[in-house]
Structure 1
Amino acid sequence: MDDFIARPDGDLSWLVSRGEAAGDAGFTPFMESVDALLMGRSTYQAIADQDDWPYLGRPVHVLSSTLPADVDPRITVHRDVAAAVDVLSEAGHRRVYVDGGRTTRAFLEAGLITELTLSRVPVLIGQGAPLFGPLSADIELEHVRTEVLGGGMVQTTYRVLPRADATPESVARAV
């Protein structure tokens, strides 16, 4: 509830603290609605060891300047945002789930996110990695819907309103 996406040490155990009461927290229908995923290195490393890969066969792309290209056969590694955007576009992916605080912030800054779905877990962790962090300007949102999920989780979707000052070139500066 306090806008942190991980504890300071990267721990995500609070995310599943609702247990079976949360079900899949709307994850399966959400994953079914996307063509591909793009996440940052930290997000990937937080889930890399999961035996049960939860992405329903969707292509997973990771932004990293340090991961080896062949680190994991389940992912495609990109060295920069522009390369990832090019590959995703060329593959015809129109609805891409962007995950991870810094990656999401960079795409918001560049005006490349049109919809934002936030799922809030009813727990306060007090400190950690922020979801958004500093932004260069306000990003205006328009409420689309809010749904209460199992275990008291709340999922809200917003339309991201276009920013007059965002250009594709600002992607490189935002990362």
Structure 2
Amino acid sequence: MTIVFRPKVDRWLAILLVGAFLSPWMLAGWLTYRGDEEIALVLVLVGGMDLLLARALLWPMRYEITPEAVIVRAGLVRLRVPYSRIQRIVAHHPLRDLSLRALSFGLSLREALRIEYGRMRRPNWLVIAPEDADAFLEAVARHDPALHRTGPRELVRIQKENGHEAAKAVHARRLFGDHGA
């Protein structure tokens, strides 16, 4: 069974994006009014390419929880992160957690989640912003028993070895605190 989550979109960010996409056409209109049709035509083409690129990379956006993996779909892009590779999912703060290794597929800066996956020492980051972050975290936790809620917006991989928590899980609990499930 696949559970689909829609992205949360901050209103101010949506207005900013719409303004950025409309600005070449508004400038082209002003230049046409002034008589600079050649430059206006170039701006109309640039604006069309911007919209085509945004359509190909942003819309439609959704996050899917399947029995095998978390799948992020944004336009023509499809990213699949198997549960076994997820190290943790935490609240993402864009100003504090600035990183070049983060792929962002979320249009909300306040409600974003960061999926850390891959290698334990230096994981990759995938930033998403589902409308219902708590339901998203619960759905992921149901599919992988090694992922446990350790905070209000946090899932951490805790592996057990011979009935005891692994050393990296104990270390993670010391670093991030044990808030319970």
TM-score normalised to structure 2 length: 0.21
Higher relative contact order (CA 8 A, sep 6+): 1
Q: Which one has the largest radius of gyration?
A: 2
Larger helix proportion, structure 1 or 2?
Answer: 2
